[in-house]
Amino acid sequence: MLKNDLILQNPLRLMGYKAEEILTPGGFGAVLARAGVGKTSFLVQLSLNSLLKNKNVLHISLDDPVNKVNLWYREVLSRIADQHNIEQTNQLVETILPHRFIMTFRVEGFSVPKLEERLSDLTEQNIFSPQMLIIDGLPFDESIYEPLSQLKTLAQKNSLYVWFTMRTHRDETMGPDGIPTRLIKVADLFEVVVQLQPEGKEIHVKALKGEGADSDHPSLLLDPATMLIKDQTGR
C-alpha cells in the first residue's frame, strides 16, 4: 500500500468537522496539552495527511533541531506503516519529502517579520511555497496577542492553514468552555481548538472550539503506546 492508497482520513472529520483541511484558508487551529502528552505527534499526523495529498507543509519548530523534527516524521510514518502492514516505508518517505520543509528558530529569536523574510526567500527563489504552517513551541504568554495578530494577517494574505501547539499546566485556570484563560485572550483569532486530555490510561482528543465542539461525535483517542490517532473502536 503506497501513497495513493494511504490517503489518511483526516481524523478530526470524525469529530464533526466538514472542511477537507479542517481550517479555512487563513485559519488558525491550536492543539492544547500538558508536556509529553502528544501535541507534536498529533500535528505531525495532521501534516502527513496534507503531505500525502501533495500539499506543501512548512513545519516550524521553536524547541527542536531539524534532525529531531525529521525523526518525528519518520517515526510516526513508520508506526502508521506498521499499522497498515506497509513494507515500502522508505519509498513512501521519499515521495512526500519534497512537500515538507522544516524551519527552526530559537524561541527568543522568533518574530513574525523574521518568519515573513524567510518565507519570502523561499518563495521568491522557488525553493518552497507552503500551503500549511505548523508552529510548534510558541509560548502563549501575555505578549502573544500582537505576534498572533501579525501571523493572522500573514496567513490570510497567503491563504495559509496554521496549526499551533500550546502547552498547558495542571493548575491552569480554565474558562467555562474548558479553554485556558491564557488562550481566551486570543481565542477570537482561532477557528479550531483541540485538547489532548489524559483520562486514566487513555488520551482523549476533544474539540473545544469549532464545528467539532458542537458535534455529537465521540472524542477520538491517542494511543499512548504509539501516539497514533484512533477512534473509540480502536481503529
Q: Which of 191, 181, 106, 193 is nearest to 142 (CA)?
A: 181
Residue-range definition of the domain harbouring residue 133 = 3-230
Angstrom CA distances, 34 to 6, 125, 167, 207, stand at: 30, 39, 5, 16
Cell 515573513 belongs to 116
Cα dihedral: 152, 67, 193, 128 (round 10): 40
Q: Is residue 235 part of a domain?
A: no
Q: What is the pLDDT along the chain (235 residues), one digit of tens a residue?
A: 456 555 544 455 565 555 556 788 999 999 999 999 999 999 998 898 888 888 999 999 998 999 999 999 989 888 887 877 777 777 878 888 899 999 999 988 899 999 999 999 999 999 999 999 999 999 998 899 999 999 999 999 999 999 999 999 888 888 878 888 889 889 999 999 999 999 888 898 888 998 766 666 666 888 888 888 877 655 5
The H-assigned helical ranges of 35-88 are 39-51, 66-83
Q: Is residue 30 part of a domain?
A: yes
Domain of 38, CATH number, reads 3.40.50.300
Q: Is residue 193 part of a domain?
A: yes
How many domains does the structure of the chain reveal? 1
Q: Is residue 28 part of a domain?
A: yes
pTM to 2 decimal places: 0.90
Q: Which of 30, 39, 38, 22 is nearest to 212 (CA)?
A: 22
